[in-house]
Structure 1
Amino acid sequence: MESADAGAKTKKTLGAVDYVESSGFAQGALPTQKDVIQNMLYLLQPKRAGQAQRSKEDAAQLLAELLQEHWLFCNLHTIATKTIKKVILKMYEEFTKLYQTRKQRQNHAFMQRADKFNMSSEQLFDIFCTDAVIRNKLEECTGIKMTATEWKFLEDQRSERKMYYEDVADTNELKAMERRRKVQCLDHFRKMAKDERAASESKETTYGSDVRSDEGTSVDELYPAEDEEDAPHFSLQGRRKRRYATRTLSSTTSASGTIPLECQHIRMSIRRVRPGFYETVDKI
């Protein structure tokens, strides 16, 4: 029976077993089928997804990624995320059909199917990668191989479920994993520094070759001299000639117009003195 209180957790009862919505999985143990169903109940609630209710496809995708991350934390390689999603949808569809069966049709055969489903829900939701070739490739990608302790932990989770990953974790193995991560980070940073150094050296080489190619080339060689009348706008020498000629003529014209007549002889005189200067000197 589903709870009517919006603040309470959603609960669905199948036979004598209650399935209560929950988020996440217990640390140190691999999730069971019941844990997966309860997480689906949590993800499919509208209040968990925002304004609109999350679809089963989206909920199964999120849950598949969460399961894969949880197994990898225990150093156990899983099947593909897409395959995990299909298994989740198939199991949840079976649970939904059993739960939504009307009471009038809940006969003895139905109770047997419900009891069988409830018994299997306590078992491990097994998504372990049994293909040795693919598992070896995954181990090469992560750089971590499964040890005998982890195989023992997996077998325990499939049967009695008495072990916890924290109890069976090898301290030396964890230290080795941490060292491998540090070495990989150092190698990555060394490679980045080497690439940056090579890029900077190539830039300096290109800049030096450009500077050497421009040495000994003057502006007049780049822009040859042309006639003043037909000089285009991009000719620097032509523009310099025009500016100089205009400035000289204008300055001469303006100077001759402003200097008094009695002082104009100074511009042409070599001695550049006013009339009567030497007479004054002789008198002194």
Structure 2
Amino acid sequence: MESLDTEVKVRKTLGTVEYVESSGFTQGILPTKKDVVQNMLYLLQPKRAGQAQRSKEDAAQLLAEHLQEHWLLCNLHTIATKNIKKIILKMYEEFTKLYQTRKQRQNQAFTERADKFNESSEKLFDIFCTDTQTRNKLEEYSGIKMTGTEWKFLEDQRSERKMYYEDCTDKQELKMMERRRKIQCLEQFRKLAKEEKEGNKAKETTYKSDEQSDEGTSVEESCPAEEENGGAPGFSLRGRRKRRCTAWSGSSAASASDAMPLECQHIRMSIRRVRPGFYETVDKVKNC
């Protein structure tokens, strides 16, 4: 069985222009229409996408987000993502129809349409936000306004395309570093969370084993009698808790008020029940 050559790229020729699949955009310049088509070819290839199949809608959505991010790195605000997606789908649909036209139907009209598409493909895929109010809101939200340099760069990309936006590469490097930092922080957080979870399980297991070892131990055993020399008994924390519960429970014949100390009877009806209106009275005192 022959091995697949993963380096072979998809190539489609329309007229005299060849479109080769591409996975990204050149840094420092804005993408052309041809760049967008070539990226769609890449996203729709199962071997490149890592999926059995990806729809045009999903590919256009991913590409729209990528385009928007690329423009923002050049400090240029774009139209909404959903509108970028619509433009991508419309342009790629036109490319597909032209490419899939059978040779028998490739007449003079077809040649003119193909040449027109190829000519426009070398121009900027313009998604700049021309609405002043919307752009001002975007600039206010991001905290960065377009300068004269960005305006000149945009005009150059719409015409001669000779300028290069150097900050775009620097921002891309900073963004990659920020992503790596976030991934490292996330991995560290997961590691700490795992260690804490394992520690809690160990504590819970120890506590359960202590509970089982204390079963069947009477209050007298856990609270030894006074020393022969009249000293105080050496109570343990667990022994004090058991002794306290035993003292409050009282005999079955005694009432709750008899088991409750006199100084607590105006607050509690029993060891587990507070008299009605107690918390309301406390809230009123706090609000005075």
TM-score for both structures, normalised by structure 2: 0.58
1:53 shift after superposition = 1.1
Task: Determine helix, strand or coil for the equivalent of 1:13.
Answer: strand
Distance in 2 between the 1:227 and 1:12 partners? 94
- Give 4+ residue runs of structure 1 displaced > 3 Å after superposition: 4-7, 224-228, 232-237
Report the equivalent of 1:45. 45
Letter in 2 for 1:229: A
The question of whether the paired residues in 2 share the 8 Å contact of 1:149 and 1:168 is answered with no
Letter in 1 for 2:149: T
Distance in 1 between the 2:128 and 2:30 partners? 11
1:229 shift after superposition = 2.5
Task: Determine helix, strand or coil for the equivalent of 1:87.
Answer: helix
Is the counterpart of residue 229 in structure 1 residue 245 in structure 2? no
1:159 shift after superposition = 0.2
Report the equivalent of 1:159. 159
Letter in 1 for 2:37: I
1:126-162 residue CA offsets vs partner (Å, 9 max, x unmatched): 0000000000000000111001111000000000000
Distance in 2 between the 1:21 and 1:96 partners? 14
What 5-or-longer segments of structure 1 have no aligned partner?
175-223, 238-284
Report the equivalent of 1:94. 94
1:230 shift after superposition = 3.9
1:51-103 residue CA offsets vs partner (Å, 9 max, x unmatched): 41111000000000000000000000000000000000000000000000000
Aligned pairs, how many?
183
Q: Where in structure 2 are the equivalents of 1:183-202 lying within 5 Å?
A: none
Q: Where in structure 2 are the equivalents of 1:108-147 lying within 5 Å?
A: 108-147=108-147
What 5-or-longer segments of structure 2 have no aligned partner?
172-247, 262-288
**Bigger radius of gyration, 1 or 2?**
1
1:48 shift after superposition = 1.7
Report the equivalent of 1:13. 13
1:232 shift after superposition = 5.0
Distance in 2 between the 1:62 and 1:24 partners? 12
Task: Determine helix, strand or coil for the equivalent of 1:18.
Answer: strand
Distance in 2 between the 1:138 and 1:91 partners? 27
- When the two chains are superposed, the root-mean-square deviation of aligned CA atoms in Å is 3.0
Q: Where in structure 2 are the equivalents of 1:233-244 lying within 5 Å?
A: 235=259
